[in-house]
Structure 1
């Protein structure tokens, strides 16, 4: 899958996502041309799926982060699809994950403060379809948020 050159390039990209291909090449100990070819191949193969901005929501005024875990009423075969479709329409939902097990779906939700969260919960979350149970976990601190792969 990945050889040593690929791993060195990806490791350098993880350390500095804004680095130019030439800079990545220098740090990985390869020529800029080889680095460009390898990076292009990694993108074509879907290993590198783009570069993303990581946003500090608190600096934009969103002080509350809540993880909501849902168990759905599965008597309707479209329950999961309907729930996800509706959840995608809530702008404060910044992540949707599905699971196998007791919990079916987890939503990551942000709000400006507790009053804003309460309004959001009552007006946008509770009306989501097919909810059988909800568990809310309010985030107190983020101790690690690293997306790096150990290469």
Structure 2
């Protein structure tokens, strides 16, 4: 279980993971040694999974974002595994989510422009196995994108 000290450390750490240990400890109101021990415990306990770069895809020329909702052939017991294995191989598919309900999966796809998306859709998405229905939702604007937890 996390205590208030862990939550303070995590709150500051998730806001700025580039903070040095001393600065993080000061912000959380603990000593550097306490902060280091707590961070290590949070890492080994699987609470902190890692640090990563957040990339602005548009600045790299990927102007099109599409969310594809797919239904799979539920009569085939291998449909899910075969579909997800194949979808993982498409470089422009940057996220795969599964759901309970009418939609089985959601693929998040990025492309440089509509011509590039059309090529990805025809050559890589429509060739994925076991799709019975697919719906494209074109991304218009990101209203909120925050992975920080309210700690």
Whether TM-score is above 0.5 comes out as yes
1:7 corresponding residue in structure 2: 7
In the alignment, structure 1 residue 103 sits paired with structure 2 residue 99: no
Query: Which residue does 1:78 correspond to in 2?
Result: 78
**Secondary structure of 1:77's match?**
coil
* 4+ residue runs over 2 A deviation: none
Instruction: Compute the displacement of 1:75 (Å).
Output: 1.3
Structure 2: where are the runs of 5+ without partners? none
SS of equivalent to 2:150: coil
In the TM superposition, what is the alpha-carbon distance from 1:139 to its structure 2 partner? 0.4
Using the alignment, how far apart are the partners of 1:44 and 1:120 within structure 2? Answer: 39
Deviation at 1:20, TM superposition (A): 1.4
Within 2, Cα distance between the matches of 1:23 and 1:70?
Answer: 46
How many residues align structurally?
151
What's the offset of the Cα at 1:12? 0.4
Task: Give the secondary structure class of the aligned counterpart of 2:144.
Answer: coil
Corresponding residue SS for 1:43: helix
* 1:129 paired residue number: 129
Residue equivalent to 1:118: 118
Structure 1 residues 1-150: aligned runs within 5 Å: 1-150=1-150
Q: CA separation in 2, counterparts of 1:42 and 1:79?
A: 37
Question: Counterparts of 2:5 and 2:18 in 1: how far apart (Å)?
Answer: 19
Normalising to structure 2: TM-score of the pair?
0.99
* Distance (whole Å) between structure 2 residues aligned to residue 89 and residue 16 of structure 1: 32
Residue 60 of structure 1 deviates from its aligned partner by 0.4
TM-score between both structures, scaled by the size of structure 1: 0.99
Point out where structure 1 has 5 or more consecutive residues left out of the alignment. Answer: none
